[in-house]
Structure 1
Amino acid sequence: MISELANTIFNQAINDYHQFDDIDHPIVNPYEKDSLSHLFYLKNWIDTAQWHMEDVVRNPDITPVEGLSWKRRIDAQNQVRTDMVEFIDGYFLAQYQQVTPSANATVNTESPAWAIDRLSILALKIYHMQEEADRVTASEAHRAQCKAKLEVLLMQRNDLSKSIDELLADIAAGKKYMKVYKQMKMYNDPSLNPVLYKKA
């Protein structure tokens, strides 16, 4: 199952990252470059780095200049994340290009890779909520609250994993078909963001 592979690799990438816990630590992807496993590992590493960037920028003592620098870095990382999702969708499009959809096939509300993107973020939520549920310096009430949230996140991961596997099975069977739209983020494009093109 694709979801089982993804969840396993996401957990591996998160654990590997936290050996160093350094946003700038170079990634060492253990999987062959053209494999889906390689893409999943890279995807989650990108998400993990961005997760920690989001933590840093919320430091109440951060200076405005430093905060703006981190905000721009987060924007750039988010574009990398979006590009990675679209690349994974390209992998699935190629995998199922020989499938002829049935006459009554439907398109899903989101592509497989965007669902996998949510699964990657869920892996991060689960990892960090587990940390909070186990944090000995926190109050008993805090740990209990985080444990309850963790149970919900684990249930959500099970449901989403099942949905992803069902979606891919339906695409393979021709019951659904992929239709991928590029995100076309306008704020990053100097020709589309009026603040940027009016400066030019």
Structure 2
Amino acid sequence: MKAKEINKIFRESIEDYHITDHVDAPKPEKYEGFEGLLYLKNWIDTVQWHLEDLIRDPEIDPSQLVGLKRRIDASNQHRTDTVEQMDEYLYKTLDGVQIQEGARLNSETPAWLLDRMSILQLKIYHFEDQLKRTDVDAAHLESVKQKLYILKIQEQDLEIAYDELMEDLQAGRKYMKLYKQMKMYNDPSLNPIFYGKK
């Protein structure tokens, strides 16, 4: 899949979320396989974006903070697990590729690049939404337009970077390795807050 097709799925997920615009809305089951992972990845990002908004509400009831923080932590773990599933899928598609002599290791895997692309689509959506506001002055709108202009350039650059990376991997000019995220904070055997308690 080319990056433009992937971004289309990300945008579809964002639009679908905003039909209800609620963090507890069920995710539509629209795709399977890799496309399903892409849609899921962006859905996780979109829900988390709005959870992060909620936790920053200056008038939030303090009793809600712990629950929201734990939900954000769980979302981060789900996001990481989904990125790793995407990388495993892409890695399998490269099975049989002859690595060329002098091929270089790419430090960022394709799925972590897709992670950046997914977040970027959220930024673009919400900056575009800012342009619809009628309660702000011209200076605010101009600032939003300038930032949106830069985000659109970044969108094009990341699409090129993803497509070129996949072309290089498929041709054996680059190779990738799979590293699991060695997260410690969710593991009771590694986080001293858990194992240090008697």
TM score, norm. by length of structure 2: 0.97
The one of 96, 99, 116 aligned to 1:98: 96
* Equivalent position of 1:174 in the other structure: 172
Question: Is 57-66 or 147-156 further displaced after alignment?
Answer: 57-66
* Equivalent position of 1:11 in the other structure: 11
The one of 131, 142, 151 aligned to 2:140: 142
Identity of aligned residues (%): 49
Give, in whole Å, the separation in 2 of the partners of 1:83 and 1:186: 14
State the one-letter code of the partner of 2:2: I
1:96-147 deviation per Cα after TM superposition (whole angstroms, max 9, x unaligned) = 0111211211111200000000000000000001111221112111111001
RMSD in angstroms over aligned alpha carbons?
Answer: 1.0
Give, in whole Å, the separation in 2 of the partners of 1:74 and 1:185: 15
Give, in whole Å, the separation in 1 of the partners of 2:5 and 2:29: 15
Shift of 1:69: 1.1
Q: Secondary structure at the match of 2:10?
A: helix
Shift of 1:48: 0.3
The one of 59, 62, 68 aligned to 1:61: 59
Shift of 1:2: 2.1
Shift of 1:62: 1.4
1:147-167 deviation per Cα after TM superposition (whole angstroms, max 9, x unaligned) = 100000000010011000000
State the one-letter code of the partner of 2:16: D
Give, in whole Å, the separation in 2 of the partners of 1:24 and 1:40: 20
Structure 1 spans left out of the alignment, 5+ residues: none
Give, in whole Å, the separation in 1 of the partners of 2:41 and 2:2: 15
Give, in whole Å, the separation in 2 of the partners of 1:117 and 1:151: 21
The one of 142, 149, 155 aligned to 2:153: 155
- Structure 1 residue runs of 4 or more that deviate by more than 6 Å after TM superposition: none
Q: How many correspondences in the alignment?
A: 198
TM score, norm. by length of structure 1: 0.96
The one of 122, 128, 131 aligned to 2:129: 131
Does the Cα contact within 8 Å between 1:85 and 1:117 map onto a contact in 2? yes
Give, in whole Å, the separation in 2 of the partners of 1:135 and 1:142: 10
Give, in whole Å, the separation in 2 of the partners of 1:29 and 1:88: 17
State the one-letter code of the partner of 1:188: N
The one of 37, 40, 46 aligned to 1:39: 37
